[in-house]
Structure 1
Amino acid sequence: MPSRADCFVKLLTIITALKIHPDITLKLTMREGEETPGSGNNLRAGDTLTLWDALHNMLIPYSNVSATVVARTMGERLLALEGGTGDPSQRFVQQMNLVAMSLGSSMNHLLVHTHEPDKRSDVLIDDGGTLY
């Protein structure tokens, strides 16, 4: 059963994705290497689905793979809009923190898994909303 923190991160992923790209018909494709440990491993490299379907997949079978694909895709969109470079998943995590703070989150430690099974991004937010 998912923890409250896991549920919070999934919901925050959805809210952040929709703020970045509200068009739910956007096509997302899972890439090689985006296999993600945990629940909902129901996608394979090359599978394509809409943002709408990916968001539902994150909630119904609780797909971590869908969350990884959404984070990477939205991070790529942010980097392209900003003319930036770097890890798209990390950029998405930064945006999630901004959204969390704008929603008044008092969560003080989020663990957000990247597409690499042995890597995660530790996201710290103190009670004052400061990012570390």
Structure 2
Amino acid sequence: MSKKIFLFSLLCLFLLSSTALAAAAVQPPNILAEAAVVMVADDNRVLYDKQAHAIMYPASTTKMTTLITALEQGKPDSIVTVSKRAAQCEGSSLDLTAGDRLTLQEALFGMMLVSGNDAAEAVAETVGGSVAGFVNLMNAEAAKIGATRTHYTNPHGLPDPINHYTTAYDLGLIAAYGLKNPVFAKIVSTQAYDVHFLNKPTLHVTNTNKLLGKYPGANGVKTGVTNDAGDCLVAAAKRGNVELIAVVLNDDERWADAAQLLDYGFQQLGL
């Protein structure tokens, strides 16, 4: 074997080894989520996909669209007067009672941080005139965003086994769209907040998103859990000028899995 051929063979072996090591370094983590996606917020480029287009229950990740719709259709200083129906909404709660009064902006902070179903219904009634009217606006919003496999029947995410559904990919699109709105971005990145009422003392609330303040660069976006949906999480994080969104649905290890997926996405981009 000539010296040139030998050196060329060594070079080929080196390149093959380097390629194999690089591929091994960016292997996606083994996660428990039934459906998941990681995408770049700016251009919706998908970096990881596990049944990302499968129809799933959204649970309270629904409230991302509730927030977007309220911000685009409502006025932040308008007054929300809590109805008896809204106050009695089951599930996670802002502890509202019938007759409570607060601005729409305060209701939105409370709704998103503690995932208050009562606040979601009160917002819907105020902005849409009725829950049904607001839900129509939500579905129009989802269609505008391009979430073509998403449909809502309520503003909070309590189970509807037939007509309230989404996909991991659609939730990524919705989060990416929402984060372009500075008010949306501020609300979903807030770890703690004092909700001010017009008729009773201030209520201190903390965000249900455990990645905020713990995962480097975490800046949103929404948790969700019901018996039917399982544990869900839409998580966002930013490094430099790159913002990633990770969605995990029906995942008993949602915190660890979302963090691993964000790590994987940043690693793919060399960050």
TM-score w.r.t. structure 1 length?
0.69
Alignment of 1:96-115 (within 5 A): 96-112=138-154
Q: 1:54 matched to which residue of 2?
A: 107
Structure 1 counterpart of 2:134, from 92, 112, 117: 92
Relative CO higher for 1 or 2, CA cutoff 8 Å, sep ≥ 6? 2
Residues 24-72 of structure 1 deviation map (CA, whole Å, 9 limit, x = unaligned)? 1111010123210000141000111111111111111110000000111
Match of 1:129 in 2: none
User: Could you say which structure has the larger radius of gyration?
Assistant: 2
Q: Which structure 1 segments of 5+ residues have no match?
A: 77-87, 126-132
* Alpha carbons of structure 1 residues 29 and 101: separation in structure 2 relative to 1, 3 Å: same
Structure with the larger strand share: 2
Give the Cα–Cα distance (whole angstroms) in 2 for the partners of residues 100 and 89 of structure 1. 16
Question: Aligned residue for 2:196?
Answer: none
Verify the 8 A CA contact 2:57 2:165 in the aligned structure 1.
no
Whether the 8 Å CA contact 2:70–2:127 is kept in 1: the answer is yes
Question: Does residue 114 of structure 2 align to residue 72 of structure 1?
Answer: no
Structure 2: 5+ residue stretches without partners: 1-55, 167-271
- Report the Cα distance in structure 2 between the residues aligned to 1:121 and 1:90, rounded to whole angstroms: 16
1:106 positional shift: 3.7
The question of 1:29 aligning with 2:64 is answered: no
Q: Given that residues 17 and 74 in structure 1 are in contact (C-alpha distance below 8 angstroms), is that contact kept between their aligned partners in structure 2?
A: yes
Matched residues, percent identical?
30
Alpha-carbon distance change, 121 to 91 in structure 1, aligned in 2, over 3 angstroms: farther
Following TM superposition, the consecutive aligned residue runs of length 4 or more in structure 1 with deviations greater than 6 angstroms are none
TM-score (normalizing by structure 2): 0.35
In structure 1, the partner of 2:68 is 15
Q: Contact 1:113–1:121 at 8 Å: present in 2 too?
A: no
Aligned residues: 108
Over aligned residue pairs, what C-alpha RMSD do you find? 3.0
Q: 1:12–1:96: 8 Å Cα contact kept in structure 2? A: yes
Q: Does the C-alpha gap of structure 1 residues 11 and 124 become closer, same or farther in structure 2, counting only changes over 3 Å?
A: closer
- Distance (Å, rounded) in 2 between the aligned partners of 1:54 and 1:120: 28
Whichever residue aligns with residue 110 of structure 2, its letter is N
Measure, in 1, the Cα distance between the counterparts of 2:114 and 2:146: 28
Mark the CA change 1:8 to 1:104 in structure 2 (over 3 Å): closer, same or farther: farther
Alignment-mate amino acid for residue 89 of structure 1: V
Indicate the SS of the match to 2:152.
strand
